[in-house]
Chain A
Amino acid sequence: MTATATRDRAGDDEQKDLTPEEAKASRKRSLTLLGELVSPVKGQFAVMAVMVVVAQLAVVAGPAIIAWGIDHGIPALAAGNSVPAIQAAALHIACAIVGGVLTYGYVKQSVVVGQRMLLALRRKVFRFTQRQDLEFHERYTSGRIVSRQTSDMEALRELLDSGVNIMVGSFLSMVFTIVLIVAMDWVTGVVMLLMLVPCLLLTLWFQRRSSVEYRAIRTHSARLIVHFVEAMAGIRAVKAFRKEDRNQERFDTLAMDYRNASLRSIQVFGIYQPSLRVLANVTIAAVLVVGGFRVLSGDLQVGVLVALVLYSRRFFQPVDEIANFYNAFQSAVAALEKIANLLAEQPHVKESDAPTPLPQSSGRIDFEDVSFRYTPQGPLVLRPMDLHIPAGQTVALVGQTGAGKSTVAKLISRFYDPTEGSVKLDGVDLRDISMKDLTRNIVMVTQEAYLFSGTVADNIALGRPGASREEIEAAAKAIGADSFIEQLPYGYDTDVNKRGGRVSAGQRQLISFARAFLADPRVLILDEATSSLDIPSERMVQEGLTKLLGHRTSLIIAHRLTTVMIADRVLVVHGGEVVEDGSPQELVAAGGRFAALHQAWQDSL
Chain B
Amino acid sequence: MLGTMSRLWQTVRPIRFRLYLGLLSALTASLVALGIPQVLEVVVNRLHVGAASATVWTGGAVVLALGLVEAALIWLRRVFAVAPSTLVEKDIRVRFYAKTQHMPVSFHDGWGSGQLLSRMMSDINTIRRWIAFGMIMLVTTSVTIVVGMVLLVRSSWLLALIFFLAAVPVTVIAYRFHREFSVLSRLSQDQNGDLATTIEQSVQGIRVLKAFGRGPSALEGFTEQAEELRRTEVRKATSMARFDMFMFMLPELALGIALFVGLHLVAGGSISVGQLASYFATATLVVGPVRMLGMLFGQMVNASTALDRHYEVMDEENTITSPESPVAVDTSAARGAVSFEGVHFRYEDAPGHVKDVLDGVDLEIRPGETMALVGVTGSGKSTLLQLVPRLYEVTEGRVRIDGVDVRDLALPDLRTLTAVAFEDATLFSDSVRDNVLLGADPALSDEAAEELLHLALRTADATYAYELPDGVDTRIGEEGMSLSGGQRQRLALARAIAARPAVLLLDDPLSALDTRTEETVTGRLREVLEGTTTLIVAHRTSTVALADRVALLDGGTVVAVGTHTELMASSARYRWVIANQEEETRRDQDIEALTGELDLREIQRAQEAQEARDTREAADGPPGSEGTSTSETEPEAAR
Contacts and interface: CB of A to CB of B under 8 A. Distances in A.
Interface residues of B, number: 189
Contacts of B83: 263, 266-267
Nearest to B41: A306
Contacts of A309: 40, 44
Nearest to B630: A600
B248 A560 contact: no
A477 interface: no
Contact of A505 (B242, B376, B511, B577): B511
A131 B539 CA distance: 39
B102 interface: yes
A534 B502 CA distance: 27
B121 A130 contact: no
B143 interface: no
Nearest to A532: B511
Interface residues of A, number: 186
Interface in B226-279: 226-227, 230, 233-234, 236-238, 240-242, 244-246, 248-249, 252-253, 255-257, 259-260, 263-264, 266-267, 273, 276-277
A399 interface: yes
A154 B233 CA distance: 13
B579 interface: yes
Of B44, B61, B120, the most chain A CB neighbours within 10 A belong to B44
Contacts of B64: 281-282, 285
A398 B595 contact: yes
Contacts of B415: 239-242
Interface in A60-88: 62-63, 65-66, 69-70, 73-74, 77-78, 82, 85-86, 88
A396 B292 CA distance: 72
Nearest to B245: A104
Contacts of B241: 103-105, 107-108, 111
A531 interface: yes
B68 interface: yes
Given A126-B199, A130-B215, A443-B212, A288 B226 contact: no
Contacts of B89: 259, 262
Interface string A17-36: 00000000000000000000
Given A131-B215, A270-B75, A462-B208, A235 B108 contact: yes
B439 interface: yes
Interface string A154-197: 10000001000000000000000000000000000000000000
B513 interface: yes
Interface string B28-54: 000000001100100110011001010
B164 interface: no
A589 interface: no
Interface in B422-455: 422-424, 426-429, 438-439
Given A92-B255, A255-B94, A484-B377, A498 B416 contact: no
A61 to B, nearest CB: 10
A389 interface: no
B416 to A, nearest CB: 7
Interface stretch (A38-46, A225-233, A357-365): A225-233
Given A401-B592, A498-B109, A450 B43 contact: no
B215 A127 contact: yes
A277 interface: yes
Interface stretch (B148-156, B361-369, B401-409, B596-604): B596-604
Interface string A136-155: 01110111011001110010
B477 to A, nearest CB: 6
A415 interface: yes
A506 interface: yes
A555 interface: no
Contacts of B210: 134, 413, 415, 444
A379 to B, nearest CB: 10
Contacts of A255: 90, 93-94, 97
Contact of A282 (B67, B100, B347, B429): B67
B612 interface: no
B460 to A, nearest CB: 15
B407 to A, nearest CB: 15
Nearest to B634: A400
A403 B591 CA distance: 13
Of A145, A235, A256, A499, the most chain B CB neighbours within 10 A belong to A235
A489 B211 contact: no
Contacts of B86: 259, 262-263, 266
5 contacts: A305-B47, A443-B211, A452-B201, A505-B377, A560-B588
Given A123-B226, A604-B586, 7 more contacts: A119-B226, A150-B196, A281-B68, A309-B40, A400-B592, A439-B214, A504-B382
